[in-house]
Amino acid sequence: MIREGVEDYNRWKSDKKDNSHLTLVYRSQGFEKCKWQDLKGGDFIKIMKDEIISADTLILLSSSHTGIAYVETSSLDG
């Protein structure tokens, strides 16, 4: 029971850190910085090179002349 409590606490700390990441989100006045915890479904975000993104992000466009975007999934792979 204590071990599960410690694991839950560590997960809570990790989630709090992840949710405080900043990203650029499009609002009516243009792109502005926003915490991940304030994003809503359907928001358009601007992802910069080497930026960490959440796993549920859908990439619609790439600035590469080939249109290719490379995503590293090492944190998902375990």
Q: What is the pLDDT of residues 11-37, one digit of tens each?
A: 899 888 888 889 999 998 899 999 999
**Band of pLDDT at residue 50, cut at 50, 70 and 90:** confident
Q: Where are the alpha helices (DSSP H) in the chain?
A: 2-19, 74-77
What tokens were used for 41? 């479904």
48 with 41: CB under 8 angstroms? Answer: no
Q: Tell me: the pLDDT tens digits for 32-45?
A: 999 999 999 899 99
Q: Which domain holds residue 68?
A: 2-77
How much is the average pLDDT of 46-65? 86
Count the domains in the chain: 1
Rounded to an integer, what distance in angstroms lies between the CA atom of residue 18 and that of residue 21? 6
Q: Given a cut of 90, is residue 73 above it in pLDDT? A: no
Rg (CA), the chain: 16
Q: What is the pTM of this model?
A: 0.69
Closest CA to 73 of 58, 60, 47, 54: 54
